[in-house]
Amino acid sequence: MTRPLAFTAPGRFWRGNLHTHSTRSDGILSPEEVCRRYRAEGYDFLALTDHFIGDYDYPIVDTVPFRTAGFTTILGAELHSGAMANGELWHILAVGLPTDFTPSDSPSFHPKPGQETGPEIAARAVAAGAFVAIAHPQWSGLTLADARSITAAHAVEIYNHGCANGCDRPDGFGIADLLLTEGRKLTMIATDDAHFYEPDHFGGWVMVKSEANTPEALLAALKDGAFYSSQGPELRDVRLEGDHVVIESSAVVTAIAMGHGTGAKSVHGNSMTRAEVPLDRLNGSPWIRVAVIDAAGKRAWSNPIWRDAGPNPRVP
């Protein structure tokens, strides 16, 4: 039997958003009010990730004063440097940055000759201790070659609520699945990318398994892949048992197992809290991920399960 670390690690699940903006960059609410709203909505933690460019004085916002007994914050930023294949600036999410992280020469949202590349600033953020994700691939117009170049990333942002409501480009699954098929052991995060000037908040989050709701414990769990992503449904267990995957969840109408290429199989029903999905149509894929959909159309997604990685695969 193989199970993702999210369902074997000790502790409990903590709900958090990893991609958020405030008046320290292009959001419309103060850092304090952003934290208050997430806390009021029942979140356990938040990463405020304002745009790390010169126009905003390269902010890594100090959210420590807004922590409470039941709510914590992780310092971070959305990094920008260098041009993607389409000529536009890279967007790289970095959660867990030190406050003295050295800025790149990125004065604005426009690339400039000679500045640090996207892969270089991503690698520097990982070396500084951050959890790094490739942000909103569909919205950015990211190519597979672009994505391949970010070799230091832990994750791909597979759902971005702001991009869903602001431009109908929320998706990162296409890029993520291709990288998985090439052997990249990446995880997958759902986020808000909230700015609060449109309905871009409280729509996608991560559920992180750790023994404590502290920045250090949450960051370690994120790097280990001990989490799943959701728009609403709860995943309670996911495990490979022989020729099928068992999914236990809150009430859903669809449970899906997916692998490389065309490999996929779904099971449908009413108010399902347990589903067994056969794997015969996954074409021997070395990785498997699952999704569930509830009656309201809301989804939850597991991280990939690597069939040859043992019971608790770790993110490189």
In this predicted structure, the answer to whether residue 103 has a pLDDT above a threshold of 60 is yes
In this predicted structure, the answer to whether residue 311 has a pLDDT above a threshold of 90 is no
Mean per-residue pLDDT, 94-103: 97
In this predicted structure, the answer to whether residue 285 has a pLDDT above a threshold of 60 is yes
Residue 68 tokens, joined? 């409470």
Mean per-residue pLDDT, 147-163: 97
In this predicted structure, the answer to whether residue 72 has a pLDDT above a threshold of 70 is yes
Mean per-residue pLDDT, 11-16: 98
Please state the pTM of the whole predicted model. Answer: 0.96
Within the chain, residue ranges assigned H as helices are 31-40, 118-127, 137-140, 144-149, 161-167, 173-181, 215-224
Mean per-residue pLDDT, 141-161: 97
Domain ranges in the chain are: 5-230, 235-297
Q: Report the alpha-carbon distance of residue 206 to residue 188 in Å, rounded.
A: 9
Among 165, 251, 169, 235, which Cα is nearest to 202's?
Answer: 165
Return the pLDDT at 316.
Answer: 42
Which amino acid, residue 181? T
Mean per-residue pLDDT, 282-295: 96
Return the pLDDT at 309.
Answer: 57
Mean per-residue pLDDT, 24-52: 98
Predicted confidence band at 53 (pLDDT cuts at 50, 70, 90)?
A: very high
Mean per-residue pLDDT of the chain: 96
Query: How open is the CA angle 298-300-305, to the nearest 5 degrees?
Result: 155
In this predicted structure, the answer to whether residue 253 has a pLDDT above a threshold of 60 is yes
Q: Does residue 44 come out as left (phi exceeding 0), alpha (psi in the -120 to 50 range) or beta?
A: alpha
Return the pLDDT at 308.
Answer: 77
Name the 3-class secondary structure at 200: coil
Among 172, 167, 111, 110, which Cα is nearest to 136's?
Answer: 172
In this predicted structure, the answer to whether residue 20 has a pLDDT above a threshold of 90 is yes
Q: Which fold has domain 5-230?
A: TIM Barrel (3.20.20)
Among 8, 9, 64, which Cα is nearest to 212's?
Answer: 9
Return the pLDDT at 313.
Answer: 43
Q: Report the alpha-carbon distance of residue 136 to residue 38 in Å, rounded.
A: 21
